[in-house]
Structure 1
């Protein structure tokens, strides 16, 4: 933690609200530092956005399916002396190769490898040798942007925008980012380095995670593309939900207290300082400090509303279900993650990121298809004598501010429309054989307290990025610290894990040395 940043003194007894990755990360770092920590979770299980749905005979991840930088999980576990192999069963991750399989409207396909030689060979196959050389230059640029911003701007808290120039090192990193063009537009910077429009999509679709179209996203978000395409995407044996389960088990084993089915509805104060979290049953959980990880509407309901309006990211419709493997074996795409791009890419982003009241559903959908059993055969299951696999289909869509649609009426017809699109794109039999057991829509996310019905929190516009994003401490609420996707550093599995550690540091926990970039032990 940078010297001089605001901290909460004398926080021995801490209550953490929310047992998602941010809350569990924070709790592990706190209990590892000897604090008395209680985690309160309103749901009956842990995980938040990395939880699970149960279907007939199977479980399926109900949130994030893409894992990068698993060393940040290892770092949180190490805070209490645990690691991937110290839990039973062990937490096992596998580097996906390729990380993604991309399909395009013209019938071409491209595998996205994190290994530079394999990826250069694949780019050569699809786009030619000259484009492969340009890809390698792009890869170096992505790495430079990531290295320039990770320690100083992603893995960092801010008290003020002046923190960007608070030291010689900060000025040097900021100057380096300016030199790299990181404050230009992501689409433009990538477009200057590679020419093939298909390849440009592969290295800019990550802007959706930041809630902004590539043409508008700051090029600093090339760091997300670097994590996605260079540092590696991992599969977790047992599903992403296993990550939260393991973190929760390690927290409890280290002496922490975890209470599920416990919704915090108000806080007690002595003067301005919070002294207890009050749950829906009336129980008071006393504390010296309170860490809040829910989405900002829930935070503001507890602390009092803020005047500043947050511009939310686009949302998503997600179909969760299962399909017989006899059907899926006929599909051309046989990868854990498939990005099935529509033809009209720019129009898609314009539709789902339009301002208030002008958003539309994608007229030419680009979809993320996740088949976890392809890397974890333990997720295959038998139904009525036939082998089945879990299947998720994610379709980006406008949030409820952008398009206040009646999702109670629309979810069924739109789910059928998406399945029909996939049938026409070559996923033969999916219309008849895909049993959809859960459909998540913006209405789902709104019911869980997420701003504008978006699971991706505030969009990373310039005014909602870095030191301009909601800070993790607020002098109006002494003793309260924020973590999660609504605060720094932002949206995504690695970033919310970082947010938990940053919150612990705000409570006076000293930073330990930690592994980075997939080099830690026990990750594979």
Structure 2
């Protein structure tokens, strides 16, 4: 089997398939594995340059357990006490905690007893939506219409199914819960976790708040360290990695995938191929003309958000940072209006990951330990932007304007960055270069409208033997969702192999039974 791309989906599918006894080769165009989970060197410091929020740890525990290992043996991981710190100005901040009762108390202190009660009701609804969708949708097979998913939920749970609120607007639903616009803005931001506009997303996305409330975990070395751990696990299972070389073409024989051709002209034969690239790379011919028909073309108008991202090694002062911090714009509606019009926001909401702030405030302890005065710390700063990196070049002047807008938001909330901090900047144009055919969209298809989730690419394509995985495919974007897509791709291949063995018992040893991890393999 050949896997194109060593992102989370490719890594998890590789490990799972190898654990089942298959011969697997992963081809990655970058020198390091991880896909979007990457790091860069700034001023001699390694700064995480990809996703920073890690939730749904149980997904990865499952992967490692299936390979006879434990996640904690490969990475140093612990649960964060503070989920995130939020600020609107320099008058104070609001923390959400791993302990929901502490979050409720903090919201009450911040916005009043009614707001605390509203949060309690919101949390209950988010939990209910998550429980309804977890097994049949998030961890289940791709459903191309609502009816199969409703059947999985079960006819006896119709009330629960309707409680998913797929036809309700997310922003409007939040206004039903929260009278305080700051809280509406805080919980509206969860739509951006899957690259979506909170003013256009369905209320179903409340479930994202519950995934975070179930636990945010901190990994020593960041998400890129998780990717490296998955590589070690996969190699232990026998997976071969070829890094620093791109796949130029998916090969077919008799209208079935037969392997891949590399950019250097080499070929890798395979009975099954998984593409861990964005499906747009297939539909636009980035992986060869033969693969164009494998998936549906997606209009650029349906792309998720992109981002302007600063990777810095900087001194900070003023605001008491924790690991995850959000500084909100004064006008959220205007911010997304500007993004929809193809412009970076003039007064953006800013996410800042202070990667060296890992000792969190607890009820009876001192604040999280900042770096000593005059000592720089590693930070990643994200501002949402339109996914137009394939059509809009970002000039130095525009980048400077965006940088000033980002700094203005931080200044307004009381955080000062050193003026000439060592820094690298990634624009939608840069993301397009790293992830071709996306325009810089970092999450695949945006979750706008009730049908969007059913329109995401599933594991199977129109070409037999060619499959998809990754954060741009079912079930959604994000680190755990990309891993779930890899599990689904591996599971789908296993089912297809079982079907082939039933119909071709003489051609493939083993008849109707699956070959064990010790006795057989499929290239």
8 Å CA contact retained: 2:2, 2:270 = yes
8 Å CA contact retained: 1:314, 1:396 = yes
Q: Aligned to 1:471, what secondary structure does the other structure show? A: coil
| Residue matched to 1:261 | 244
Instruction: Choose which of 272, 296, 300 in structure 1 pairs with 2:279.
Output: 296
| Residue matched to 1:161 | 145
Structure 1 CA distance for aligned equivalents of residues 472 and 410 of structure 2: 37
How far is the alpha carbon of 1:428 from its aligned partner?
5.5
Change (3 A) 1:71 1:456: same
Matched, 1:59 2:46: yes
8 Å CA contact retained: 1:204, 1:225 = no
| Residue matched to 1:191 | 175
Structure 1 CA distance for aligned equivalents of residues 416 and 125 of structure 2: 42
Structure 2 CA distance for aligned equivalents of residues 472 and 297 of structure 1: 14
Alignment length, in residue pairs?
A: 479
| Residue matched to 2:130 | 146
Change (3 A) 1:165 1:117: closer
Structure 1 CA distance for aligned equivalents of residues 298 and 93 of structure 2: 44
Structure 1 CA distance for aligned equivalents of residues 160 and 493 of structure 2: 31
Change (3 A) 1:47 1:151: same
TM-score, with structure 2 as normaliser: 0.86
How far is the alpha carbon of 1:376 from its aligned partner?
7.1
User: Runs of 5+ in structure 1 lacking a partner?
Assistant: 1-13, 511-524
Instruction: Choose which of 417, 432, 439 in structure 2 pairs with 1:430.
Output: 417
8 Å CA contact retained: 2:383, 2:406 = no
Post-superposition Cα deviations, 1:416-457, rounded to whole Å, max 9, x if no partner, equal: 314541563255651425221x11100011112151222222
Q: Aligned to 1:462, what secondary structure does the other structure show? A: coil
Matched, 1:481 2:464: no
Structure 2 CA distance for aligned equivalents of residues 195 and 314 of structure 1: 27
8 Å CA contact retained: 2:5, 2:275 = yes
* RMSD (Å) for aligned C-alpha atoms: 2.5
TM-score, with structure 1 as normaliser: 0.85
How far is the alpha carbon of 1:332 from its aligned partner?
2.0
How do 1:345-384 residues align onto structure 2 when only pairs under 5 Å count?
A: 345-352=332-339, 354=340, 358-375=341-358
8 Å CA contact retained: 1:422, 1:430 = no
| Residue matched to 2:482 | 496
| Residue matched to 2:299 | 309
Structure 2 CA distance for aligned equivalents of residues 275 and 465 of structure 1: 31
| Residue matched to 1:120 | 104
8 Å CA contact retained: 2:143, 2:454 = yes
Matched, 1:389 2:377: yes
Structure 2 CA distance for aligned equivalents of residues 265 and 359 of structure 1: 31
8 Å CA contact retained: 2:275, 2:469 = yes
Q: Aligned to 2:24, what secondary structure does the other structure show? A: strand
Change (3 A) 1:410 1:67: farther
Structure 1 CA distance for aligned equivalents of residues 90 and 371 of structure 2: 35
Structure 1 CA distance for aligned equivalents of residues 164 and 450 of structure 2: 21
How far is the alpha carbon of 1:307 from its aligned partner?
4.4
How far is the alpha carbon of 1:169 from its aligned partner?
3.8
How far is the alpha carbon of 1:242 from its aligned partner?
0.3
Mean Cα deviation higher: 176-185 or 439-448 = 176-185
Instruction: Choose which of 25, 35, 38 in structure 2 pairs with 1:48.
Output: 35
How far is the alpha carbon of 1:187 from its aligned partner?
1.6
Structure 2 CA distance for aligned equivalents of residues 223 and 472 of structure 1: 23
How do 1:388-427 residues align onto structure 2 when only pairs under 5 Å count?
A: 388-400=376-388, 404-410=391-397, 412-418=399-405, 420-422=407-409, 424-425=411-412, 427=414
Structure 1 CA distance for aligned equivalents of residues 222 and 188 of structure 2: 26
Matched, 1:322 2:305: no
8 Å CA contact retained: 1:450, 1:457 = no
How far is the alpha carbon of 1:86 from its aligned partner?
3.1
Matched, 1:216 2:204: no
| Residue matched to 2:17 | 30
How far is the alpha carbon of 1:162 from its aligned partner?
6.0
Q: Aligned to 2:36, what secondary structure does the other structure show? A: helix
Post-superposition Cα deviations, 1:261-305, rounded to whole Å, max 9, x if no partner, equal: 121101222110111111111111111100001112322222115
Change (3 A) 1:398 1:502: same
How far is the alpha carbon of 1:183 from its aligned partner?
3.0
User: Runs of 5+ in structure 2 lacking a partner?
Assistant: 361-368, 497-523
Matched, 1:97 2:81: yes
Q: Aligned to 1:100, what secondary structure does the other structure show? A: strand
How far is the alpha carbon of 1:464 from its aligned partner?
5.8
Q: Aligned to 2:281, what secondary structure does the other structure show? A: helix
Structure 2 CA distance for aligned equivalents of residues 67 and 241 of structure 1: 11
How far is the alpha carbon of 1:252 from its aligned partner?
0.4
Structure 2 CA distance for aligned equivalents of residues 273 and 148 of structure 1: 37
8 Å CA contact retained: 1:373, 1:390 = yes
8 Å CA contact retained: 2:89, 2:414 = no
